[in-house]
Amino acid sequence: MKFQTEIPLKQQTDNLIDYHSNLLLLGSCFVENIGEKFNYFKFKSLQNPFGILFNPKAIETLISRAVQNKKYTESDLIFHNEQWHCFDAHSKLSDTSKENLLDSLNEALHRTQERMHQATHIIVTLGTAWVYRFKETEAFVANCHKVPQNQFDKVLLTTDEVRESLISIKTMVQAANPKATIIFTVSPVRHIKDGYVQNTRSKSHLISAIHQLVNKKDVFYFPSYEIMMDELRDYRFYNDDMLHPSALAVNYVWEKFSSVWISNKAQETMGMVRDIQKGMQHKPFNPDSEAHKTFLKRLDEKKEMVQSRFDHIKF
């Protein structure tokens, strides 16, 4: 007897992710969940150097500036609530010093540009089709930084507008790096502040637009949204806010993603990395015991074995 419906998935036959892959992850807070998994398992990955980016226009802006190497200057900053901010970046980059903020922005831009040229896989997770346009400049923003809402127009991007933005992203990425595989996903996190019906409209625009680009060569779709909405359609798989996936749900979606996109050989290495990570978190009852010393020696041997295979892995 089956107690849930399952999204049919099968492992990709080409372009699989392994420990030689270079990954760039951009987008909503859900990409951070998956990014943390890649970090835990010691893949070569860079996630959200500009912080969380919820909408396709924000991601398009970042990639455009990275491709053009258009550095940030003081004219790109605003001062609000005793801090300097940039409308293109998340507030985690904001700073009381405009010099520090400019350094952070341009360093993040450089890292994005560098990784985009090296990337074997670029994972883009879209969160919402609702965007805010700053009235003064008519530019779409990634974050409003608590600037009064009357200074923005709130706009729902049409399916065509989302598609055009994604085409722009795809074109710029492939011009910079023709070998990169692009994987789109839609965040299962519901943006209830926009309204329940409005959130559904937003997600539908994103999904519809993505599927107008998907092909079997270099642009793919992973159904993280559908897995959460269908296979995990129970509030026990959510955090206390009833909006964000719980750790259990994130692990579930990660396992599904791994089964599709990560090579079998890499999954063997992931098992060794997991054992080492757990071993490093182990707290002994008696640190001076012979048993613990033996345990540490074996742990060091495992580290050396993995690190001898992959230079980028550090513990």
pLDDT of amino acid 4: 83
User: Which pLDDT score, from 0 to 100, does residue 285 have?
Assistant: 87
pTM: 0.94
| SS3 track for the chain | CCCCCCCCCCCCCCCCECCCCEEEEEECHHHHHHHHHHHHCCCEEEECCCCCCCCHHHHHHHHHHHHHCCCCCHHHEEEECCEEEECCCCHHHCECCHHHHHHHHHHHHHHHHHHHHHCCEEEEEECCCEEEEECCCCEEECCCCCCCHHHEEEEECCHHHHHHHHHHHHHHHHHHCCCCEEEEEECCCCCHHHCHHHHHHHHHHHHHHHCCCCCCCCEEECCHHHHHHHHCCCHHHECCCCCCECHHHHHHHHHHHHHHHECHHHHHHHHHHHHHHHHHHCCCCCCCCHHHHHHHHHHHHHHHHHHHHCCCCCC
Closest of 36, 103, 111 to residue 66, by C-alpha: 111
* pLDDT of the residue at 256: 97
| Structural contact between residues 192 and 134, judged by C-beta atoms closer than 8 angstroms | no
What is the reported pLDDT for 96? 98
Domain residue ranges in the chain = 22-263
For the chain, 315 residues long, give each residue's pLDDT as a single digit of tens: 777 889 999 999 889 999 999 999 999 988 899 999 999 999 999 999 999 999 999 999 999 999 999 999 999 999 999 999 999 999 999 999 999 999 999 999 999 999 999 999 999 999 999 999 999 999 999 999 999 999 999 999 999 999 999 999 999 999 999 999 999 999 999 999 999 999 999 999 999 999 999 987 899 999 999 999 999 999 999 999 999 999 999 999 999 999 999 999 999 999 999 999 999 998 888 888 988 889 999 999 999 999 999 999 999
Q: What pLDDT does 286 receive?
A: 86
pLDDT at 217: 85
How much is the pLDDT for 97?
Answer: 98
The pLDDT, as a whole number, for residue 226 is: 96
Domain 22-263: give its CATH code.
3.40.50.1110
pLDDT at 288: 84
